Amino acid sequence: MDQAVPGWPRLCAKARASVRFLQARVKTLENKVLVTGGAGFIGSHLVEELVRRGRTVRILDNFSTGSRDNLSAVADSSAVDIRVGDAADPEAVRSALAGCDTIFHLAASVGVGTVTDDPLGSLENNIDSVRTLFGLLRSGSPVSRVVYFSSSEVYGKSSTERLEETSPFIIGPADAPRWSYAAAKITGEYLALGSSRQHGVPTTVVRCFNTAGPRQVDTYGMVIPRFFRQALAGEPLTVYGDGSQTRCFSFVGDVVASVLDLAQHPGAVGEVFNVGSDEAVSVLELAHQIRSMTGSRSEISFVPFETAYGPGFEESPHRRPSLSKLRSFTNRNDQTPLEEILSSIHGWLTQRADAGGDATADVAAEAGGTADSACADDSARTADSASTADSDLTDSRTGAPVERAARLGLRTSAGSSPAV
Ligand code: UDP
């Protein structure tokens, strides 16, 4: 037959390829995305965006620092399956992995405050969860992509003007508790990249630089929600040191969009990326901006680092990423300016206060997502969803431009408007 009809073998091959393509598409749509730490600050924004893009998402979170409030927009959605469990518990992770094709690992003990309070516990937790996940992935069925959320903290005290992914890590001695977080995240990177290179687990590492936005709380030391709380309560804004240290704050929606792009990029496997903004601001200037935005008459009070974090604390004076590598993989050149990030947080706090919450209290909590903390896709993503993933400026269902306010997180229900 093959010989009798000219072109028949080629037609058969094409038909087989089409069937394989369709099977892959169906498989992708059926497969779930696992987000560990999905009830946290970054994790919950990531979950909302994945749901908005039509994905089914499983969350594994122990709710130690994450909160159900963070998931209020998606908790009732049939696309979301919430599992209460620990990311360092092999049985909980094994069960959560079943049927998942893409994994975002955000679950971690986060925040300078958490780490200086319990350096050993946070170190063990942050290493154990990565060992557990990659141990299971190495011996289990193949997945399309794993995104491991590392942190800019790995660069430590490095004072390089623009931190490149290849810049050296300069961390302090092991008896300075602060560096245990960096040590854990560096170890996590070795485990993730080693699993990618030696065992073929397709992994991308993202180093997030001071992510900020609605839902971030100050319980664990994050400076922006802390200054807002203090300003709104009329308390002094506690600037550590002389406030000349600088940070680059990035909007959580921008971080989620970048990470999703990387998770879909075939070339990002086995690679490390800085993710964030490169607009630097001093902590003192930040305090002034928040005070003026809130109309607060709070004083600014300068607090020595050692008073804030205990003896032996070492500060990172400046932390500014080079975003060249991220930009060359994602073409994302726009970043939400600090002024807009701050006003989105202020708007969120005002909405919460109007809804009966206390704008000055720690209500929502952060998990897995850290101020420094991910996302993804699969190689067989559908053409529709792949194209929407290329832009965070259009609605995936309608193709309409996304309102700036919606991008800034001022939304109330899943599926009806863009999450981030
Ligand atoms: N910071 C501050 N006052 C506070 C909390 C933090 O001056 O009440 C400073 C802190 O010393 C650091 C910056 O704000 O220089 C960012 O701190 P955060 O804990 O948010 O992140 P990280 O230190 O990990 O960059």
Question: Is 309 within the bounds of a domain?
Answer: no
| Distance of alpha carbon 264 from alpha carbon 331, whole angstroms | 13
Domain, as residue range, for 107:
23-215+249-276+362-407
Q: How far is CA 402 from CA 55, 81, 388, in A?
A: 19, 27, 12
Question: Residue of the nearest CA to atom 21 in ligand 1?
Answer: 222
The pTM score is 0.82
State the closest ligand 1 atom to the C-alpha of 224, by its place in the atom list counted from 1: 20
361, 353 in Cβ contact below 8 A?
no
Question: Residue of the nearest CA to atom 11 in ligand 1?
Answer: 240
Pocket test for ligand 1, best of 41, 110, 112 (most atoms within 8 A of CB): 112
pLDDT at position 74, please?
96
Q: Letter for the amino acid at 197? A: R
Pocket test for ligand 1, best of 240, 242, 291 (most atoms within 8 A of CB): 240
State the closest ligand 1 atom to the C-alpha of 319, by its place in the atom list counted from 1: 25
- For the record, the structure tokens of 363 come out as 């209500």
The CA-based diameter of the chain, rounded to the nearest angstrom, is 89
Question: Is 297 within the bounds of a domain?
Answer: no
The set of catalytic residues is: 181
pLDDT at position 353, please?
85
Pocket of ligand 1 (CB under 6 A): 112, 153, 210, 221-223, 226, 238-240, 245, 247, 283, 315, 371-372
At residue 125, what are phi and psi to the nearest 5 degrees? -60, -45
Say which CATH number the domain at 138 has: 3.40.50.720
pLDDT at position 319, please?
95
User: What does the DSSP assignment read for 188-248?
Assistant: HHHHHHHHHHHH---EEEEEE--EE-TT--STT--HHHHHHHHHHHTPPEEEETTS--EEE
Average pLDDT over residues 146-164: 94
Question: Is 65 within the bounds of a domain?
Answer: yes
Pocket test for ligand 1, best of 114, 152, 223, 239 (most atoms within 8 A of CB): 223
Question: Is 263 within the bounds of a domain?
Answer: yes
pLDDT at position 114, please?
81
User: Percent of the chain scored above 90 by pLDDT?
Assistant: 67
Give distance in angstroms: CA of 223 to centre of ligand 1: 5
Local confidence band at 178 (pLDDT 50, 70, 90 cut-offs)? confident
Q: Which residues on adjacent β-strands are paired with residue 410?
A: none
Average pLDDT over residues 217-239: 94
Q: 126: closest CA among 61, 180, 71, 199?
A: 180
Question: Is 6 within the bounds of a domain?
Answer: no
CA angle 46, 70, 50 (to 5 degrees): 20
Among 12-26, 155-169, 331-345, whose mean pLDDT is lowest? Answer: 12-26
Give distance in angstroms: CA of 359 to centre of ligand 1: 20
| Distance of alpha carbon 46 from alpha carbon 333, whole angstroms | 20
Dump pLDDT digits (tens) for 279-305.
999 999 999 999 999 999 999 999 999
User: Percent of the chain scored above 70 by pLDDT?
Assistant: 78
- For the record, the structure tokens of 302 come out as 């300068």
Question: Is 5 within the bounds of a domain?
Answer: no
Give distance in angstroms: CA of 82 to centre of ligand 1: 32
pLDDT at position 6, please?
67
State the closest ligand 1 atom to the C-alpha of 220, by its place in the atom list counted from 1: 19
Question: Is 13 within the bounds of a domain?
Answer: no
- Distance between first and last Cα of the chain: 56
Q: Three-state SS for 365?
A: coil
Question: Residue of the nearest CA to atom 14 in ligand 1?
Answer: 223
| More confident of the two residues 226 and 18 | 226
- Round the average pLDDT of the chain to a whole number and report it: 83
| Distance of alpha carbon 368 from alpha carbon 236, whole angstroms | 29
Question: Is 369 within the bounds of a domain?
Answer: yes
Give distance in angstroms: CA of 228 to centre of ligand 1: 13
Question: Residue of the nearest CA to atom 17 in ligand 1?
Answer: 223
Give distance in angstroms: CA of 152 to centre of ligand 1: 13
Q: Letter for the amino acid at 131? A: R
Dump pLDDT digits (tens) for 131-154.
999 999 999 889 999 999 999 999
Give distance in angstroms: CA of 347 to centre of ligand 1: 22
Question: Residue of the nearest CA to atom 3 in ligand 1?
Answer: 239
Dump pLDDT digits (tens) for 352-411.
888 876 655 543 333 333 334 333 222 222 222 222 232 232 232 223 333 333 434 333
Q: 213: closest CA among 333, 70, 41?
A: 41
40, 32 in Cβ contact below 8 A?
no
Question: Residue of the nearest CA to atom 25 in ligand 1?
Answer: 210
State the closest ligand 1 atom to the C-alpha of 153, by its place in the atom list counted from 1: 24
| More confident of the two residues 321 and 376 | 321
- For the record, the structure tokens of 374 come out as 């991910």
State the closest ligand 1 atom to the C-alpha of 237, by its place in the atom list counted from 1: 8
- Signed CA dihedral, 31, 261, 70, 274: sign only: positive
Give distance in angstroms: CA of 121 to centre of ligand 1: 21
pLDDT at position 219, please?
83
Count Cα atoms within 13 angstroms, Cβ side, for 219: 20
Give distance in angstroms: CA of 278 to centre of ligand 1: 17
96, 60 in Cβ contact below 8 A?
yes
Structural domain count, the chain = 1
34, 56 in Cβ contact below 8 A?
no
State the closest ligand 1 atom to the C-alpha of 372, by its place in the atom list counted from 1: 24
pLDDT at position 357, please?
65
Average pLDDT over residues 242-264: 97
